[in-house]
A and B are shown apart, each in its own frame.
Chain A
């Protein structure tokens, strides 16, 4: 295992691995998203309280989970980059940021669109919504800080510190519905063996969560592959890869 990680730290092996892995994430994503959407939008029954509007959770909850998951990955990758100076970890953190920011935006927007008919308002400054908005700002701060430096090493160092400090926001988002009296409803998954959701509604949600995981995977891999080429552009193997395609 450790040897494999060390190997992956080599840009060339990293590039080849990302290339090989892309279809392994793309096809499961396509299969799961079709299944999840059909199940969630067509087969699942309407909610007895929220009616049809509850169907928004099939994109809201997965994107909200992914907004935190991607941030956690970025913080881990940033930490690995800082401690062991592994450049490929910096690549993972950098390419994840726009994807995570988009998931956060999707969670906020779909939440607002659901809130309008259910709460009667697009937005309230309650703890869950506010902390999720702060997460979006953290992503944007990370992206702009990363772009502010010409030297990718300095950029990675500064932005990794930012993303690690911002990690404190994740438990705040997660526990906000418990710590404060929020308008946002509480978690439905406090007890996985006895979820407060009927299987007909729960299954499509779980499928959509996996679909979004694979979506993140395929997008991160595709972007990481290109980012490595830019960073290693003075290596002979990059020249071979790029020029080899021309002929």
Chain B
């Protein structure tokens, strides 16, 4: 039994594997863009805060 057949109990039957795989990868990549943005945001804020704090000493 192939993987596509194994997963055919899911919605979209024999195409379930392909549909959920493509939607899953897309979801992960888009969430990844938001995570990257948020990590970058915090990193930049912290770096700048440290820089200004040092300059004030």
Residues of A bordering B, CB below 8 Å: 41, 51-53, 55-56, 59-60, 63, 98-99, 102, 105-106, 109-110, 113-114, 116-117, 215, 219, 222-223, 226, 229-230, 233, 238-239, 242-243, 245-246
Contacts and interface: CB of A to CB of B under 8 A. Distances in A.
Given A226-B40, A243-B49, A51 B22 contact: no
Contacts of A110: 22, 25-26
Interface string B12-27: 1111101101110110
User: A interface, by DSSP: helix, strand, loop or mixed?
Assistant: helix
B37 A105 contact: no
Contact of A233 (B25, B26, B29, B51): B51
B49 A114 contact: no
B26 A226 contact: no
Given A219-B33, A238-B48, 20 more contacts: A51-B13, A52-B15, A52-B19, A53-B12, A53-B15, A53-B18, A55-B12, A59-B22, A60-B22, A102-B29, A102-B32, A106-B26, A106-B29, A109-B22, A117-B14, A222-B37, A226-B37, A229-B44, A242-B49, A246-B49
A208 to B, nearest CB: 11
B54 interface: no
User: B interface, by DSSP: helix, strand, loop or mixed?
Assistant: helix
Interface in B1-47: 4, 12-16, 18-19, 21-23, 25-26, 29-30, 32-34, 36-37, 40-41, 44-45
A117 B18 contact: yes
6 contacts: A51-B15, A53-B15, A102-B30, A109-B25, A238-B48, A242-B45
